[in-house]
Structure 1
């Protein structure tokens, strides 16, 4: 049996269909020696070829409507990106257009026009450090011998700092950058004009809050403002309704809770996506859609991991 035929059995058309939603963040022009697992153009182009052969890739909002109506085609899929990196426009979008595939880009509006995600601040502080040893006041002392070790240090720092309150998190990044002797970049995220250009090219823009907070770690009123204001900023930029939302970090029960799902529904979004693995089947909560992308680099392993993902039980609502 071919992979395509197997995927058809696992994701049939109609009432028993399952929607596979892919998630990416960045697509670099070239491989990153410090973080080898980061997606790059050559690998992404190859994956898009596989997806064109194996799946019926739909715009996400259309796929959600068809899932609810029971009219999805076999092997239904959608492509999404989170955060709003500049390479989404400069690298990913041309490859998607060449492959003829739609995608949705979930953008954290507060990082546009020179902002920077906190985790990238840590990565770039370590990458750009001229030092052989990074000695921070609070987060430890690390040797910086070569790209692989620098990548490991950056990931360790991300784990230590991820769940701080937003202000404390930014202060921690600034502390690490000072200790590293690094000047941080201001061009990693899209500008407002680049977001508008993505929209002009026919891609969907979705909301991802303003400052990418862990919603479960802030007040409900602050969460409501983050969700609403992020959406309003993107609608101002694109001149079009923003109907889709992605929870920051997106782990149900840890990063967002039932009250945040209720907020998104109350604010009139059509659907929202999490980062819970699996595919969404009949009766799925369209405000907690599952997403998954394999990390394998060979065709067979990539396809088999997708098949395993489609075998995951849908189960009860996530939160």
Structure 2
């Protein structure tokens, strides 16, 4: 019976005109190495928005939520969103969005706003994925246990190795490579508290004998920049927790504080209601979703790769991750998404 219901659901959705791909971006920037595919270059972003103006009907997330409530999602509707709150969202994304008149929602991790540090995953990348030599063994204390990695031949990491690894996804990295080592450490850190993450980063910095220096182009927004970013009706600011945790890995109290405190911070800074939320890493449980429902939001976004439609849960809206495609490749991908 469940198989039959799922089959009917998929058929109804496939042929429904009332659905909308919600696009997920993170950064608009040009970088040498982008292990998590977070960056779209300004040139390609402009080409992608050109495609949206020609072949789609871009609407804001707020407009989509209202249309979803009304049961009247516009045909070929598309929604643009960003996660995390990088400074390049203001300096690179906003001017291009304004030039095409396309609205966007930017979900902000508030604990990093105005700080001097990069997001923890960017700091880990800087420490482990630069062409440098590292000690052959790493030992870290995590959750009261000692975890050890044998870096082996990957301790010597040349520019050639760096360029080779830049072509692979971390989760598909070859065992024994520096990229595989990076992914293993990242995977252990992902579900930890921010205090633990930064303690570990400090230990890795000492182990690697690296300088305490961040990449300026990777930095999060400052409070003043965030105010500027959300100063007009084209860009909506949404909440993305305080410290970007894997929410379901933590207690209900921690989850509630992460979600609620990010909302309150943004409302106090921007002086308007924050009504949208996105789950860091898309990670959530039924408890997490219920918290998002009850803390004053109108919707919440996940990272499930699918189109949103009339039967989608507004507090688990799916999104498609956009990669650094040129306009032609993006147009083909968009066509597929409309029929997902």
- Distance (Å, rounded) in 2 between the aligned partners of 1:264 and 1:164: 21
- Work out whether 1:249 is the aligned partner of 2:281: yes
- Work out whether 1:309 is the aligned partner of 2:311: no
Asked if 2 retains the 8 angstrom alpha-carbon contact of 1:196 and 1:237, the reply is yes
CA 306–158 in structure 1, closer or farther in 2 if over 3 Å, else same: farther
Structure 2 runs not aligned, ≥5 long: 1-12, 140-147, 167-178
Question: Secondary structure of the residue that 2:66 maps to in structure 1?
Answer: helix
CA 134–306 in structure 1, closer or farther in 2 if over 3 Å, else same: farther
Asked if 2 retains the 8 angstrom alpha-carbon contact of 1:211 and 1:226, the reply is yes
Question: Secondary structure of the residue that 2:43 maps to in structure 1?
Answer: helix
Q: CA RMSD in A?
A: 2.5
CA 156–55 in structure 1, closer or farther in 2 if over 3 Å, else same: farther
Question: Secondary structure of the residue that 1:136 maps to in structure 2?
Answer: strand
The within-5 A match list for 1:180-219 is 180-182=208-210, 183-185=212-214, 187=216, 188-202=219-233, 203-219=235-251
- Distance (Å, rounded) in 2 between the aligned partners of 1:150 and 1:132: 16
How many residues matched? 296
- Distance (Å, rounded) in 2 between the aligned partners of 1:134 and 1:46: 44
TM-score norm. by structure 2 comes to 0.79
Q: Extract structure 1 runs of 4+ deviating beyond 6 A.
A: none
Structure 1 runs not aligned, ≥5 long: 1-9, 313-319
Asked if 2 retains the 8 angstrom alpha-carbon contact of 1:19 and 1:67, the reply is no
Asked if 1 retains the 8 angstrom alpha-carbon contact of 2:73 and 2:310, the reply is no
CA deviation after TM superposition for structure 1 residue 105, in Å:
0.6
The within-5 A match list for 1:87-236 is 87-114=88-115, 115-127=117-129, 130-131=132-133, 135-137=137-139, 138-141=148-151, 142-143=154-155, 144-146=157-159, 147-148=162-163, 151=166, 152=179, 154-182=182-210, 183-185=212-214, 187=216, 188-202=219-233, 203-236=235-268
Asked if 1 retains the 8 angstrom alpha-carbon contact of 2:243 and 2:258, the reply is yes
- Distance (Å, rounded) in 2 between the aligned partners of 1:235 and 1:159: 33
More relative contact order, 1 or 2 (CA 8 Å, 6+ apart): 2
TM-score norm. by structure 1 comes to 0.84
Asked if 2 retains the 8 angstrom alpha-carbon contact of 1:22 and 1:80, the reply is yes
CA 172–129 in structure 1, closer or farther in 2 if over 3 Å, else same: farther
- Distance (Å, rounded) in 2 between the aligned partners of 1:131 and 1:293: 33
The structure that is strand-richer by fraction is 2
CA 69–34 in structure 1, closer or farther in 2 if over 3 Å, else same: closer
